Structure formats: structure tokens, C-alpha cells
Chains A and B, each alone.
Chain A
Amino acid sequence: MRTTRKGGSYVLESSPFFKILSTPAIAILLLLLVVPLIIILSKAFIGSEGSLTLSRVITLLKSEYTWRVVRFTFLQAFISTVVSVLIALPGAYIIANYRFKGKRLIKAISVIPFVLPSILVVLGFVIFYGNSGLINQLLMKLFNLEEGPIKILYTFGAVILAHAFYNFPIALGLISSFWEQLPISYNHAAMTLGAKKGSVFRTVTLPRLIPPILSAATLIFLFCFSSFVILLVLGGGPKFTTMEVEIYRRARMSLDLEGAATFSLISIFLTLIIVAIYIWTQRLVAHQEEIELLNEKNLEKSLKTIWGKIGVALYTLFAAFFVLGPLGAIIYNSFTYTPSRSGQTVFTLRWYKQLFNIESTSSSMMGVALSAIILSLIIASVTTIVSLIFTTMLSAKLRNDKIKGSLATELFAMLPMAVSSVIIGLGYYLIASRLQLGNIGSRILVILAHVVIVSPFILRSILPEYRKVSFTYSQASFTLGANVARTFWLVELPLLRSALITGGAFAFAISLGEINATLVLADSSLVTIPIVMYRLIGSYNFAGAAALGSVLIVLCAIIFFLTELAKKRSN
């Protein structure tokens, strides 16, 4: 083993090919991230006379308002995390331990929120849970009520519910896949030593589940911590302001760019701590997995008791309702129209006609929807191609680096995770305001910001697959007369095909639904699908937003359908 591995990487390491390949990728990706950060830093630390100053940071840290925002950010993230994990745990338990009919349904459903643009979540919630939303309408009809009984919108509860919707699948996926791998032999050993079922769970299973639970919880906390649009719309006011919302408000509403930059610093600092904790929990999981790998895995049982069956059925129903409800509401709403006079809902295609400029409309927002769809598709395509090229070049280099890295280098690699998309948007907004760019220039900036945002996601889908490609394939190719470059094209890249497709699909979907950075960065002339949706929601044209949202849903569905097709063909 010792010698084989040495032989495997020597030729690759000593070849200039990967250096030539990766150096520009690293430089460009770094530049794309570092330049906006430096500009934010300079805004935060350089005073009006051009000298270095700490006064802004100090003033901000002294302000009671700042701490209220920070406290609220932590509080909402914490509660959202707890609720998400609690919703996920029963599901993880049944998926990992039992064999039942709805299992594939739950698994399929739980993938959906993962790839769903946040603006769709927002819209789905407004339409589904809103004061005159579908649930309330249903309840009003059922119980003959004057007004809807559920008044959750624009409250703290709405934010938590939306975050739970968005994030419980993360916990469900991570915990259940780990739980499935837990070897049953430990449980059997505990039983032969006299432990009853309850004690087996408490003393054997639970302690081993703590690492994945912690890891999932930290990741969810991180996402909720830097969540933006959900708070901006569903939170509905200054009462529920988090750091990201505050950065946006200062930058784009009160035009306090220095304040926004200073706030960004605090946000980056706090997020870095969370990312470090996340890396630590991931190591716990990896360590645990190493132990478990040695043993035989858990076997699924079939459900025996009637209560068990009811429980599983209820959870499946709940997951379907919870996830598909808001999505279904969007599609339903896009085909309906309720004239305010009669109050009678009628089915109509008018929103789609307006969307595609078949029917003229007084709403200027609906009028630009078609060009927004085209622009979104262009931005997403360019973003996908550019970031696929860069990340592949980067991972070719990282794969050959023998040392997997200390905490410091890992943290550096995770840096993009610590810089939220709002802050990236802010950085590029500051660049744009200096450069005085035209139409094309500002669109390029949006693409660059998107590249920075999606690259870490692609890297995480490509690099592990690349590391799995055995060095002997490359070695065999060398001995058959192919040099390093040819081997890269003919052997390594084709073996990565399916990872490249998955990464590309994610990049496309993320870029298509990206609103945080785009909203912070773009001027009013630059409209993408999520931006138009946001503005339509803001002007209470929910049906119009739903029609555009349905288009977005269909686009995402097409991408993932094509992905699966391409992956099947490559196998």
C-alpha cells in the first residue's frame, strides 16, 4: 500500500500540467471572493478623510440596537434549528429502521426543499398559510367562519415554520443515512448483556447518533443564521431584523454603506465561529463512521404493530402536506382569479398570458417577466459553465495534495461558507458603485457573484468523487502511453461525469433561484425571476408571483429530470 500510493501521486505531483491548470482557477476564485471582501473591509475601517479608523466598529459594538439584532439572529436560528431537528428525528428513526411503502416517497419529498429557491418558500408560505391563504379559506368553508383562524404571517412563528420547512430535510437526510449504517451487532451485544429495548436505545444507539445530530444541527443553524429573504418578507418589519436583513436595509434603503460594511464584519466573524464548530462536528461524524465501517450494517424491520403503522402513515402524510402543500398552493393559485366584488374563485390562464406578454397588463412587473426569465436562464447557464470549469480545475489540484489539511486550511476552504450571499452581494454592489458600469457590466457582476456563491457547492460534489478515483487508473493510463494531460481528459474527467452533472445541476438551480446577492447588488433595471417574484409579492400580486413561481418550479423540475436522465445514461 505504502509504495503504491507513492507511485500513484508522484507522476501527478511532479507534472506541471495540474499547476498550469489549477493556478488560474485558484487565483480567479480567490480574487472573486477576496476583492469584494477587501472593499467591504476598507469601507468599514477607512474614515471619511481616508485614514484608518476603528471608530465605526466601536460605535456599532456600543450600540444597544446592534446587540438586539445579534441576539435576535441567534435566537431565531436556535429555535429554527431545534424545531427542524425535532421534526426530522421521528422521520429519521422510521426511515433508518423500518421497511414500509411510503419510504421512497418521504425520501423523494425531502429532497425538494433542498433545491427550492428561498423566494418560492416565501411565496408558498404566504399563499398557503397566509391570512387569506388556502388553509384559512379551507377552514372558513369547513366551519363557516367569518375570517381565517390562522394568523401566522408576519409573526415569529412564520419565520420558524418556514425555516423548519426549509431545513428539516437536511437533518432527516444526514441523521437517517447515518442511522441506517449503525451496525446491529452492538444492540445485540447490549441485549445479551441484559439491556432492555429502552436501555439499548439510551445507552447504545443515542450516544452514537449524537455526532450526526450535532453536525446537522450546526449546519441548519448556519443556514438560519444567514437566512435573508424569509425574514425580509415573512418577518415583515423592524421587529424581526436579523444581521443579514440589517445589512441589506442599511446598504439599499438608508444608504449607510459604511454601516452595512461594519455589520458585515460582525456577521463574518460570528459565522466563522459557527463554521469552525461545523467542521469539528464533521470530524466527529467521520471518526464515528470509521468505527462503524468495520461492522455489518443495520437491517430494516417490517412494521408489526398497528400503532407503528399509523405512526408511519401519519408522518408520511405530514411530510407530504408540509412540503407539497405550499408548492401545490403556488401552482393552484397561478391558475385562479378571485375578483374582489363577487369573491367567487374562477380558473384562468390570465396570469400566464400576462407573463408571456400575450395579454397586455397594467402591471409593469408582469410586463418584464419574460425578459426576466430569459436573463435568469442566461445568468444561470454562464454561471454553471464558468464555475464548473473553475471547480474542476481546483479539485484536480486538491486531489493530488496528499495532506488533507489542518483545521486552518479547511477553514480557509470553507471561507465562502462563512461569507453569506448577502455580504457577497454587498461587496459587488460596492464594486459596481465605484465602477459606473453599464448594462452588460452589471450583469457580469451578478454572474461573478453567483459563481462565488455556487462554487463551494460544486466543489463539495466533485472533490469527494475525484478523491475516490483510484490512482491506478491514472497509472494504467500512463503505462499505456497517455501523458498527464491526456489521462486527465480521457480517464479522470469521464470518471467524474456523474459528479459533474450533479454539481452542474445544483449550480444551475441555485443560480436560477438566487435572490440574496442579486437583490443587494442589482439596480432596478436588472430583473431576474426571483427579483420579479419578490416585487410582485411586495405589491400583493400573489397570483402573478405564483404564475412566475410555477415557471421556476417547472424549470427546476426539468433540470433535475434531465440530470437523472444523463446520469442513467452514463452508468
Chain B
Amino acid sequence: MGLVCSQIEVNYPEFKLSLDLKVAKGELVSIIGPSGCGKSTSLQLITGLIPTESGSIILNDKDITTTAVWERNIAMVFQDYALFPHLNVHQNVAYSLRFKKIKRKEIIERVNQMLSLVGLTGYGKRKINSLSGGERQRVALARAIASEPQLLLLDEPLSALDARMRKHLRQEIKNIHQATGITTLYVTHDQEEALTISDRVVVMQEGKIVQFDYPEVIYNKPASLFVAQFMGDGTLLPSSIIEEGQIELEEKDQLFFRPEKVVVQDDLTLPFADFKKSVVFEEVFVDSYQYTGDSYLIKCKYKNHTILARCPYKPKSEKVSLSVRVEDIILF
């Protein structure tokens, strides 16, 4: 096992955090949740910047619960990067190497290697305040992995960047992870980021882990309504709204499905072309729609309830029928 956090607990006056987590060696796991759920606190616990009150942290089979921060060999990329302004790019990346018995020549070699890994070859002499946001982010990443850490923590590393840069850099982080194979924990509040980048995803709510699974499972089989709604748009309906026997209810009374699982039929004379078992909603009225570039997100009214549907085109009539496969419906 790479990282094992067992029964860690910290108490604050209005907040309690408990952490139980097993991350495999070389895995990239992201931690997601609303602000204040304890994501960043978890990272600080693992680094040792906050003391644990109970439980243990084991990294690559070594108990590091009481080890000092600087001896844990856990690198971290901070939200504001925390690049030292009095040092240049090279000196920042070389910082951790100063504390190891490495020859000057090797340090220079290693720094250059790191800079080329993050695509900043030749930036060594630059000052930190002359760098753009994206460049700073890369330097922070290079600095963190230069020490060959046993664990890499990233605390919302892309939150200060614009949307395009974020998409670009998250792919790069993934590439670098694959190239280095460092066990990585990635904190974010952006679901798309969490789903695209990670091997597995941890969803946190009010200081607790509510689900820890593969991205596909988190999105399609959320463990709770909170996870379902946090990870993306969706429609929630009482089960009484559909005819009995259509779905095996298993004593649950709420239906949840994502908008892209809904098929919209605006020509009421035509049937749905589906062989799988579906639930069909008829007499549905289009209330409003949002054009999102790749498709339309349509808000519909059905018996005083709102249904969200994604449709590749704009419906031609106001009255439509909707169909959702039974296997795409999640029960709560």
C-alpha cells in the first residue's frame, strides 16, 4: 500500500474531521467536496502541518504519524504556489535538494531535468514575479517533484488559473504523474477536473469521506443523493410519479437521473427507438433552454416537477415526450 490513513480524527470547535483512506502506490486520487468539507485540512494532516489527535498515517509501510514535516518526504503544491520570491526558478526547484547530500553538478542536472519535464527549459534564471500564473504552477510542480517525494499532494493547484489553462495543465499533470509514477493526492472543488484526472475519487462532506471509488462509479452510481447532486446536474423525482411495476423500487422512494440520459422526442407521432426497458414521460412542456455550445440543456415541466434533459438540437415543438432507460435511473 502507498498511503494508509486509519482512523485519523481532528476536532475543531465547530468542525470534526475523520479520515480513513487507503491509496495504492502510484495511484492518482483526487479529493473533492464543497468548500469547508475538510479537503485542505486532510492534506495538511497528511503532511504533518497539523497534528493528528488519534489514528495513524502509514506511507509505503512506514509509520509517519509523529514524524516531523520536513522528514516525511511528502511534497505539496500549494494553492497560491508559495514560490519563494527571493529565489529564482532554478533556486526554487533546487531548494529541497540542498538538504540532501547531492553534488552541485547533479543538482543542476536534476533541476534542468525537472524544468524540461514541466516544459520550462531555459527558465532557470527567471525571477518568480516575472512568471505568468501557468508558469508559476509548473515551477511549483517541478519544485515539488524534484525531491523525488514518496507522496505528492496538490491543493487546488489550478484554481487560480483561467478555464483554458486549467484544461491544458490538468492533462499535463496527468502526463507527469504517468511519467514519474508518484503516488498523488489531488484536492479540487471542480467535479470535471476530479473525474478526468484521477484513477479514483474521494468525495468528502462535512469532514467525512462519503464515497471513494472509480470516477465512472462516482458519477453513475453515486452512494448518496449528496454525491449525485454534487458531481453533476440531474433530475430528482418522487417514485410515486411513475406507474407501479415499471421499476424495482427496493423500498426507495426517489428517482435520480442525469440530463444526458434523457432522450427528447419532439415529434409526438414517432415512437422512441430503444430496445432496452425505459420509463417514458408524456405530456411534457419545454419551459426554457440553455444553449451550451455542444448541445441544449432543456428545462421541462412534468406534472409540477422539473426535468432536465440534454438535447443535441433545439426541440421544434413546446410539447415533447421524454424517455429514460431504467438502468440509468438511480434510486435513493
Tell me if B50 and A475 are in contact (CB < 8 A): no
- In chain A between 459 and 476, which residues have their CB closer than 8 angstroms to a CB of chain B? 470, 472-473, 475-476
CA distance A48 to B15 in the complex (A): 65
In the complex where A470-B80, A482-B70, A491-B84 touch, is A3 in contact with B50 (Cβ < 8 A)? yes
Residues of A within 8 A of B143 (CB): 480
**Who on chain A is nearest to B14 by CB?**
A2
In the complex where A479-B76, A480-B147 touch, is A8 in contact with B68 (Cβ < 8 A)? no
In the complex where A11-B69, A472-B78 touch, is A481 in contact with B50 (Cβ < 8 A)? no
> Per a CB cutoff under 8 Å, which of B12, B38, B75 touches A479?
B75
Is the C-beta of A439 less than 8 angstroms from some C-beta in chain B? no
Please choose the segment from B41-49, B178-186, B237-245, B294-302 that sits at the chain A interface, where 4 or more of its residues have CB less than 8 A away. B41-49
Least CB distance from A498 to B in Å reads 10
Is the C-beta of A486 less than 8 angstroms from some C-beta in chain B? yes
Is the C-beta of B278 less than 8 angstroms from some C-beta in chain A? no
In the complex where A10-B49, A479-B47, A480-B147 touch, is A495 in contact with B86 (Cβ < 8 A)? yes
Tell me if A475 and B82 are in contact (CB < 8 A): yes
Residues of A within 8 A of B80 (CB): 470, 472
Is the C-beta of A477 less than 8 angstroms from some C-beta in chain B? yes
Is the C-beta of B265 less than 8 angstroms from some C-beta in chain A? no
Least CB distance from A366 to B in Å reads 47
Tell me if B100 and A481 are in contact (CB < 8 A): yes
Chain A's interface: helix, strand, loop or mixed, by majority? helix
In the complex where A470-B80, A475-B49 touch, is A7 in contact with B44 (Cβ < 8 A)? yes
Tell me if B70 and A473 are in contact (CB < 8 A): no
Tell me if A476 and B49 are in contact (CB < 8 A): no
Interface size class of A (residues with CB under 8 A): 20 to 34
> Per a CB cutoff under 8 Å, which of A473, A478, A494 touches B49?
A478
**Who on chain B is nearest to A6 by CB?**
B50
**Who on chain A is nearest to B146 by CB?**
A480
Q: Mark B76-120, 1 if CB is under 8 A from A, else 0.
A: 101010111111000000011011100000000000000000000
**Who on chain A is nearest to B42 by CB?**
A3
In the complex where A494-B86, A497-B86 touch, is A479 in contact with B99 (Cβ < 8 A)? no
CA distance A477 to B68 in the complex (A): 13
Is the C-beta of B191 less than 8 angstroms from some C-beta in chain A? no
> Per a CB cutoff under 8 Å, which of B49, B73, B100, B144 touches A11?
B49
Tell me if B40 and A3 are in contact (CB < 8 A): yes
Is the C-beta of B55 less than 8 angstroms from some C-beta in chain A? no
Is the C-beta of B232 less than 8 angstroms from some C-beta in chain A? no
Tell me if A473 and B44 are in contact (CB < 8 A): no
CA distance A482 to B69 in the complex (A): 9
Known: A475-B47, A476-B83. 14 other contacts (CB 8 A): A3-B40, A4-B44, A472-B80, A478-B69, A479-B69, A479-B144, A481-B73, A481-B100, A481-B147, A482-B96, A482-B99, A491-B86, A495-B84, A495-B85
Closest 10 CB pairs between A and B? Answer: A480-B96, A476-B82, A478-B69, A7-B49, A7-B44, A472-B82, A3-B41, A494-B86, A479-B76, A481-B99
- CB<8 Å pairs between A and B, sample of 27: A2-B12, A3-B40, A4-B44, A7-B41, A7-B49, A8-B49, A10-B50, A11-B48, A14-B51, A472-B80, A475-B49, A476-B76, A476-B78, A476-B82, A477-B84, A479-B47, A479-B49, A480-B96, A481-B100, A481-B147, A482-B70, A482-B95, A483-B68, A491-B84, A491-B86, A494-B86, A570-B86
